[in-house]
């Protein structure tokens, strides 16, 4: 009873509770756009943005200004406890082709956060075929794909029992 009251009081005061195992909720994540043929010599390494995963859209990125002829395509990213959804609210076009042109979500942790990642074909209109994880980071390659208001990507993730750093 006392614990329940303490949790309710913490929630009412707006305190962040630690992330539970098996969820992305409450975790700090940095979202970045990268383009490279050689990972050590990126063509574009956009400014990363860091937020705590919670309700609503975590990231709504817009153009940052051209670097080497490349810029960020406007994208909205919503992260829920076991799902990541990307959508493109404005503009129509095709992503620049490179070995990797896409998104990196780096969650603050020292262990392998993702046990499994799967594209949800029922909620995805993009032909994304390359998604992988490295430690606490998730890479999504959209090189050469089309984008626009009808383009959507939904990923279901299985989150490991990985403590926050």
Residue 11 per-residue DSSP state:
H
Q: Is beta strand 44-45 parallel, antiparallel or unpaired with respect to 75-80? A: unpaired
Q: Residue 34 falls within a domain, yes or no? A: yes
pLDDT for position 137: 96
Domain count of the chain? Answer: 1
pLDDT-based confidence at residue 144 (cuts at 50, 70, 90): very high
Distances (CA, A) of 2 to 7, 13, 19, 98, 162: 9, 16, 21, 56, 27
Which of 14 and 104 is assigned the larger pLDDT?
Answer: 104
Give the confidence band of 21 by pLDDT, cuts at 50, 70, 90.
low
**Angle at the Cα of 49 (from 44 to 22), degrees rounded to 5?**
115
- The pLDDT score that the predictor gives to residue 5 is 37
Contacts (Cβ under 8 Å, ≥6 apart) of 161: 21, 22
pLDDT by residue (tens digit) across 85-140? 999 999 999 999 999 999 999 999 888 899 999 999 999 999 999 999 999 999 99
Please report whether residue 116 resides in a domain.
Answer: yes
Q: Which residue has the higher pLDDT, 98 or 12?
A: 98
Asked if residue 4 is part of any domain, the answer here is: no
Strands 28-36, 49-52: pairing kind: antiparallel
Whether residue 12 is contained in a domain is answered as no
Q: Indicate whether 39 belongs to any domain.
A: yes
Q: Find the domain containing 70 and state its range.
A: 17-159
129 inside domain: yes
- Cβ pair 7, 15 in contact under 8 A: no
């Amino acid at each position: 009873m006392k614990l329940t009251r303490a949790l309710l009081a913490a929630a009412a005061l707006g305190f962040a509770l630690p992330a539970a195992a098996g969820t992305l909720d409450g975790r700090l994540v940095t979202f970045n756009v990268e383009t490279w043929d050689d990972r050590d010599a990126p063509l574009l390494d956009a400014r990363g943005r860091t937020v705590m995963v919670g309700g609503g859209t975590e990231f709504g990125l817009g153009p940052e200004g051209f670097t080497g002829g490349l810029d960020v395509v406007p994208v909205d990213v919503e992260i829920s406890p076991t799902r990541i959804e990307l959508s493109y609210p404005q503009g129509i076009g095709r992503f620049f082709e490179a070995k990797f042109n896409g998104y990196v979500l780096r969650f603050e942790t020292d262990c392998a956060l993702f046990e499994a990642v799967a594209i949800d074909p029922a909620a995805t209109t993009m032909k994304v075929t390359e998604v992988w994880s490295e430690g606490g980071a998730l890479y999504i390659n959209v090189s050469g794909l089309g984008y626009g208001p009808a383009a959507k990507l939904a990923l279901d993730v299985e989150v490991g029992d990985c403590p926050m750093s």
